[in-house]
Chain A
Amino acid sequence: MSKTLFEKIWDKHVVDTLSDGTSQLYIDRLYCHEVTSPQAFEGLRERKLKPFRPQQITCVVDHNIPTLNQDKPIEDPISRNQVDTLMRNASEFGLTCYGLLHSKNGIVHVVGPETGLTQPGITIVCGDSHTSTHGAMGCIAFGIGTSEVEMALATQCIMQRKPKTMRISIEGKLGKGVTAKDIALYIIKQMTTGGATGYFVEYAGEAIRNTTMEQRLTICNLSIEMGARGGMIAPDEVTFAYLKDREFAPRGDEWNRKIAEWRLLYSDSDAKFDKEVLFHAEDIEPMVTFGTNPGMGMGINNKIPSLDTIDESSKSSFQKALAYMGFQDGESLIGKPIDYVFLGSCTNGRIEDFRAFSSIVKGRKKNPRVIAWLVPGSWQVERQIHAEGLDKILTEAGFELRQPGCSACLAMNDDKIPAGKYAVSTSNRNFEGRQGPGARTILAGPLVAAAAAVTGVITDPRDLL
């Protein structure tokens, strides 16, 4: 019977199926962070339980930590308590935890792949919607709520309806100056923010085959923004080359055995998806968002849609979004002055993103009006920034590096964009107030962010390449 990649992995992880079709799904790895785990651990204690499989759980602190002075106690007592609570829980229950300043600390969805914990063919859950990131390595990974974190802690299983399958194919070749972030924002614009709800997406096609692993991580990361349960890309030589010799990747005979297994992880040529969508890479330009959800994006040289092109039922949301952003329908964003630039997050906080940003700012200077926050996705990324001399390029251009964490993506810590200010952000959400009450987020890739940082206005990065 021919199967999709998703079905191959899902079916191998079903412990039991209920009469209504709900699956009891076995979870190979549970990632935990400090914001969505405290109540889950408390629940375990109340039931007088311990984690069922401690070795299959990895904890990191990332959401609520500062990105400066991490060697000092966290100033906000509530944040400090939340971070301490995860450290205490991990210690009490004997779980691996990468705390502040630990050499392996970083944003959980950066740490998993770069340490080799995330591997093809496994199931991964975490109390965070961007868990879809890990699917780039050819596994099933998705976000869950705190109650399900408790279930996974207690039994290494959760109860799930099997989602429908969708394949999004991108054929052709990407243009110069077009990044993985632009691919993802383009897809979400076409699909809309609820367009993939109920589906697990597999990305395929020539343009996807030609991406690097970090580009794949960016694309899968944003799957949730079109409502998808998760996103995945079949493992190939790019995946194996990325994974080889990473700390927790298999070695020697075990590596050879695993590679042979992983080579079987692909959708059969006659496998049926519930929905198939096709896009062409040549249609994709550098993107920016103009509204208050990731689907409200456009090619950087386009104009914001005019009101009369919007569906009657969506008109009031559209108007509300533009009013919040201080934009007019029908206007262009090129040349719009911006106030902040944020490079980082689980979407674009990796070494290739810092290389891309550096390639634009090299030999140029940060615009004096712009406040820029450059936040590496992990200490491993930070070390590599130094090893490649990117830190010198950035410093020369007037930029400073901060310390790893989720930072301004959701602004739980002090990295908040002030009300009314425009931020070109390489993160994943531009909801009202996401980066701080009243903050106005323009989502973009690292090249667009770099171009804005040096010119002080929305600029097509291809003009600076």
Chain B
Amino acid sequence: MKEKFNILTSTCVPLPLENVDTDQIIPARFLKATSREGFGDNLFRDWRFNKEGQPNPDFVLNQKKFHGQILVAGKNFGSGSSREHAAWALAGYGFRVVVSSFFADIFKNNSMNNGLVPVVVSPNFLAEIFSSVFSNPETTITVDLPNQTITDNMTSHTEKFEINAYKKGNLVNGLDDIDYLLANEDKIVAFERNRK
């Protein structure tokens, strides 16, 4: 049974960069682990820390005024490698939602399989959220998954967002694809028999 996701209100971490790929989210040299834990420590490793291992003060995760369980990112977030470790790193760090105007497919799926909700907003609303958060880092965003709405609590504007109904059901109820598939094993056997 996974953790359920219902309504979350939180401050945000803004990352107004486009095309953030999964090699940045979690560099390949950190994929050697054989468990799902500990990836949060290496989230955005080469942007967070310089060559000498010191925190890079220009990177948002090192700026105390920005914190929260919601990451707001530029379009085409999560492009590149299929590494699910990227979702594990974000969730491990403490994020529960990523907001963007566009997500890469594999990353979007991987997020939903790990309780990390990808919320797709219009480019205009994304710009508005960035503006709110940069002008006031204490701005909160509310994500209501059952009703599929996202609200910028500084401007009070709300947008509805699209999300795969089956995956939403899993997130809201803390369910897993495997439980569903295992319960339907007889359908799989019947399919195999019929195709012969």
Name A's B-contacting residues (CB within 8 A): 12, 15-16, 18-20, 22, 24, 26, 35-36, 38-39, 42-43, 47, 49, 52, 63-64, 76, 78-79, 81-82, 85, 127-129, 131, 143-148, 150-151, 154-159, 161, 163, 193-194, 197-198, 224, 227, 229, 293, 313-314, 316-317, 320, 410-412, 419, 429, 431-434, 437-438
Contact = CB atoms under 8 A, between A and B. Distances in A.
B128 interface: no
A145 B110 contact: yes
Interface string B104-137: 1110011001100000000000000000000000
Top 7 A-B pairs ranked by shortest CB distance? A145-B84, A20-B165, A38-B34, A145-B110, A143-B82, A194-B76, A129-B82
Given A410-B81, A411-B29, A429-B80, 8 more contacts: A194-B76, A227-B79, A313-B18, A412-B32, A431-B23, A431-B24, A432-B46, A438-B51
B183 to A, nearest CB: 10
Interface of B: 16-19, 21, 23-24, 27-29, 31-36, 46, 51, 74-76, 79-85, 87, 102-106, 109-110, 113-114, 164-167, 177-178, 180-182, 184-185, 187-188, 191-192, 195
B65 to A, nearest CB: 21
A60 B188 CA distance: 26
Contacts of B106: 129, 143-145, 224
A154 B32 contact: no
B181 A437 contact: no
Contacts of A157: 181, 188
A194 B82 CA distance: 15
Contact of B178 (A128, A143, A150): A150
Nearest to A80: B32
B195 A12 contact: yes
A437 B18 contact: no
Nearest to A159: B177
B19 A154 contact: no
Contacts of B19: 193-194, 293, 317
Contacts of A432: 23-24, 46
16 contacts: A15-B184, A15-B187, A18-B166, A24-B184, A63-B31, A127-B84, A147-B114, A155-B182, A159-B180, A317-B19, A320-B17, A429-B80, A429-B81, A431-B23, A432-B23, A433-B46
Contact of A79 (B32, B182, B192): B32
Contact of A429 (B23, B31, B114): B23
Contacts of A438: 51
A156 B188 contact: yes
Among A20, A79, A129, A438, residue most surrounded by chain B Cβ atoms (within 10 Å): A129
A15 B113 contact: no
Contacts of B102: 194, 197
B72 to A, nearest CB: 15
A193 B79 contact: yes
A128 B181 contact: no
B105 A15 contact: no
B165 A412 contact: no
A314 B178 CA distance: 40
Nearest to A15: B191
| Most chain B C-beta atoms within 10 Å of own C-beta, residue among A79, A293, A419 | A293
A317 B17 contact: yes
A38 B103 CA distance: 26
A19 B114 CA distance: 23
A433 B82 CA distance: 17
A155 B167 CA distance: 18
B168 to A, nearest CB: 9
A412 B109 contact: no
Contact of B105 (A24, A229, A320, A431): A229
